[in-house]
Amino acid sequence: MREDVQQLIKIQELDQRIQVIHKELERIPKELDLAQERLQNDAAGLASAKSAYQQNEIATKNVDLDRGTRKTTIEKLKVQQFETKKNDEYEKLGREVIRYEEMVDELETQELELMEKSDQCRESIVAAEALLAKTQTIVDEEISVLHTRSDDRKNELADLQETRITENTKVEEDLLADYTRLFIKCEGHAVAAVNSERICSSCHLQVVNSTFIAAKSGESIAECDNCGAILYLT
Positions in the binding site for Zn ion (CB under 5 A): 200, 202-203, 224, 226-227, 229
Q: Which residues of 19-46 are buried (b: 16+ CB within 10 A; e: fewer)?
A: eebeebeeeeeebbeebeeebeebeebb
Instruction: Give the whole-angstrom CA distance, residue 161 versus residue 11.
Output: 10
Q: Which of residues 124 and 226 has its CB atom nearest to Zn ion in the complex?
A: 226
Q: Which of residues 100 and 212 has its CB atom nearest to Zn ion in the complex?
A: 212
Nearest distance from residue 146's CB to Zn ion, in Å? 38
Nearest distance from residue 161's CB to Zn ion, in Å? 28
Query: Cβ(233)–Cβ(1) under 8 Å?
Result: yes
Q: Which of residues 12 and 135 has its CB atom nearest to Zn ion in the complex?
A: 12
Nearest distance from residue 224's CB to Zn ion, in Å? 3
Nearest distance from residue 213's CB to Zn ion, in Å? 16
Nearest distance from residue 232's CB to Zn ion, in Å? 12
Query: Cβ(190)–Cβ(230) under 8 Å?
Result: yes
Q: Which of residues 136 and 226 has its CB atom nearest to Zn ion in the complex?
A: 226
Instruction: Give the whole-angstrom CA distance, residue 74 versus residue 85.
Output: 19
Instruction: Give the whole-angstrom CA distance, residue 47 versus residue 125.
Output: 9
Nearest distance from residue 210's CB to Zn ion, in Å? 15
Q: Which of residues 107 and 191 has its CB atom nearest to Zn ion in the complex?
A: 191
Chain CA centroid to CA 137, Å: 16
Q: Which of residues 173 and 197 has its CB atom nearest to Zn ion in the complex?
A: 197
Q: Which of residues 135 and 202 has its CB atom nearest to Zn ion in the complex?
A: 202
Query: Cβ(193)–Cβ(210) under 8 Å?
Result: no
Most distant CA pair in the chain, distance: 131
Instruction: Give the whole-angstrom CA distance, residue 114 versus residue 116.
Output: 5
Measured over the CA atoms of residue 10, residue 13, residue 18 and residue 21, the dihedral's sign is negative
Nearest distance from residue 20's CB to Zn ion, in Å? 22
